[in-house]
Amino acid sequence: GKTVRPSSFLLNDSLRHWPRSATTHNNSLYYVASDVMNPTGWRHLGEARTERGHAPFNLVLSDANHHASALAAEIVELTRPGVLAGASAGPVTLLWDDCAGRLRRLVREAAARIALELGRPDLCFAQFAMPGWTGGNEGLHATCLLTSISPQVLGRALPSGTVCSAVENNRTWDTRE
């Protein structure tokens, strides 16, 4: 029953960076531990990216606070200019863990806003189940995917029967926020 905010026990935002290397498949990886509702963590993440001269993010793995207000705050921050890769910056993929029920509906609705804000009519949405962080020792988790990766590639990567449907005509999220 009690609402606990990460800022009450996470005294400092944490930002980790793994530079490009063979281990990261020549990708620069960032991990941020912060309160999704607090813009400070988002600001630190953006500053770290721009200080290092990196392009907008093209992969986001979200396993944040699983509440509607937190998801809404996350979408606002992700759709700020320069945070995510637009069409000219190459592919972009967002993945949400524990994406079932109300959260699934909210992510599905947010997909249209993200596509609109990024100028990405190539985005599609899919939901599938995958093991949690402990792998085979944990049950399957509902997972939502929003991506611009081609259907041919997705067909080889996603579980059998998973369909990635276009989001361009689903404009249910109010873009006037």
* Segment 36-45, tens digit of pLDDT: 787 877 887 7
For tokens 């949690």, what's the residue? 132
Q: Given a cut of 90, is residue 81 above it in pLDDT?
A: no
Find where tokens 């899919």 sit. Answer: 126
- So what's the pLDDT on residue 175? 28
pLDDT in tens, 156-176: 889 988 989 998 654 433 322
d(CA 75, CA 56): 15
